Chain A
Amino acid sequence: MVTTVLEDELRRIAGSVPDPELPVLTLDELGVLRGLRVTGPGRVEVELTPTYTGCPAVEAMAADITERLKAQGMAEVSVRTVLSPPWSSDAISAEGRRKLAEFGIAPPRPTTAGGPVPLTLSVRCPHCGSLDTTLLNRFSSTACKALRRCESCGEPFDHFKEF
């Protein structure tokens, strides 16, 4: 797809919006920004994909993007939600994974085809680096995370699920 200099600049700005639930990540690092098109003078159309269909953060993301782009002089910003192809945790960038771990959230492992990864693969504790960690709950503070505990340092931590 051919993009203009303006579109590249606006995409960079939209992509730098922090995730409302994981503010350590930008939307670009999370991999949810699917496209941006300038459709006329001062008019821009943005495509977002939700991590989970019920993700309540999508509305906040759309509002934040709209605000940022309006500050750039775009009078009319429309944000569309697209489902296809579905978002995967593999879309999180390497920099995004590094930031998650630094923030105390174990990043997702690469996904296998269709569904939860067998639990035999270990998840590294983001606090002490130990691989001796136990699943406490498949669902945690948000639908995209699971709750685990490190058996070495004893700390509980969130794990961004493979999806």
Chain B
Amino acid sequence: MTTTTVPTTAALSLADDALVLSHRLGEWIGHAPVLEEEVALANIALDLLGQARFLYSMVGDEDELAYRREERAFLNVQLVEQTNGDFAATIARQLYFSCYQGLLYGELAAADGELAALAARAVKEVAYHQDHAVQWTLRLGDGTPESRTRMQDALNALWRYTGELFTPVEGLPVDPAALRDRWLDVVGGVIRQATLTMPDGPDHTPWAAGAGRQGIHTEPFGRMLAEMQHLHRAHPGASW
């Protein structure tokens, strides 16, 4: 029996990112603009949920971790908890996050560690998520004046949550700060190809106490969590 220690904070941070974004994407079910998109967003959500489940089960009980923790115990970045907004806002969030997650998983898969196997599996899934976000960014940016305005507004509005992606995570064998230049290249390239403008506002919120990785979350997160957790909390131990 080998004794390896799973980096708890790192596993939880990545798991919470995946779970929270999965839940947000799941909120599109029944509301997406066309059936094909509904299927696409639900499939992306399912991939993320699968990643979250693997990561949670590495450090504890999946249900306890997903359904019984309070808001301040969640370590996801604030970007993924933002409300879906219009379709452009969801795509901007997907573009920013999938490009980050793809780079991060790529590095983790190459690094030696407990998270390498999951990352090697998931990096291929994320390549499809990223492709989906890129194609939509191009189509909306280079589309009608309405779609273009909305896509630009969405990129600008979510920009303030992108800086947090590159803050260090305890126990993670990869320094997220080292991904920043490549992330800017990829995201910037897509934005320019979509004939849009790179946002130039601050890439962080003015709140100095920290952000999602420290358990500090934005206003919509509490309500999302309440909805996500209420069934489990109302019926402890219930099963299908």
Partner of B131 from the list A52, A138, A147, A163 (CB cut-off 8 Å) is A138
Assembled-state Cα–Cα distance A54/B44 (Å): 9
- A143 surroundings in chain B (CB, below 8 A): 43, 46-47, 125
> Chain B 134-145, CB within 8 Å of chain A: the 1/0 string?
010000000000
Count, A-B residue pairs, CB within 8 A: 79
Write the nearest CB–CB distance from A84 to chain B, whole angstroms: 4
Which of the four size classes fits the interface of chain A? 20 to 34
Q: A114 — nearest CB in chain B belongs to which residue?
A: B127
Q: Main SS of chain A's interface residues?
A: loop
Q: A83-B117, A116-B127, A116-B131 are in contact. Are A136 and B47 (CB under 8 A)?
A: no
Q: B124 — nearest CB in chain A belongs to which residue?
A: A163
Assembled-state Cα–Cα distance A114/B40 (Å): 20
**Is A55 part of the contact surface with B, judged by Cβ < 8 Å?**
yes
Q: A53-B125, A139-B132 are in contact. Are A84 and B47 (CB under 8 A)?
A: no
Assembled-state Cα–Cα distance A84/B119 (Å): 10
Q: Is the CB of B54 within 8 A of A141?
A: no
Q: Is the CB of B36 within 8 A of A161?
A: no
**Is B230 part of the contact surface with A, judged by Cβ < 8 Å?**
no
Assembled-state Cα–Cα distance A84/B116 (Å): 9
Q: Main SS of chain B's interface residues?
A: helix
Q: A115 — nearest CB in chain B belongs to which residue?
A: B127
Q: Is the CB of B124 within 8 A of A56?
A: no
- B132 surroundings in chain A (CB, below 8 A): 138-139
Q: A138 — nearest CB in chain B belongs to which residue?
A: B132
Write the nearest CB–CB distance from A43 to chain B, whole angstroms: 18
**Is A134 part of the contact surface with B, judged by Cβ < 8 Å?**
no
Q: Is the CB of B128 within 8 A of A54?
A: no
Q: A54-B49, A83-B120, A83-B121 are in contact. Are A140 and B128 (CB under 8 A)?
A: no
Assembled-state Cα–Cα distance A147/B40 (Å): 10
Q: A54-B51, A55-B50, A83-B54 are in contact. Are A137 and B121 (CB under 8 A)?
A: no
Q: Is the CB of B128 within 8 A of A138?
A: yes
Assembled-state Cα–Cα distance A85/B116 (Å): 10
**Is A154 part of the contact surface with B, judged by Cβ < 8 Å?**
no
Q: A114-B127, A161-B128, A163-B124 are in contact. Are A50 and B118 (CB under 8 A)?
A: no
Binding site for B on A (CB under 8 A): 50, 52-56, 83-87, 114-116, 136-143, 147, 161, 163
Binding site for A on B (CB under 8 A): 36-37, 39-40, 42-44, 46-51, 53-54, 116-118, 120-125, 127-128, 131-132, 135
Pick 17 A–B contacts, CB within 8 A, sort by A.
Answer: A50-B50, A53-B51, A53-B121, A54-B50, A83-B120, A84-B117, A86-B124, A87-B121, A116-B131, A136-B36, A138-B135, A139-B42, A140-B39, A141-B39, A143-B43, A143-B125, A163-B124
Given contacts A83-B120, A84-B121, could you give 10 more A-B pairs where the C-beta distance is less than 8 Å?
Answer: A52-B47, A53-B51, A84-B117, A115-B124, A116-B131, A136-B36, A137-B39, A138-B132, A139-B40, A143-B46
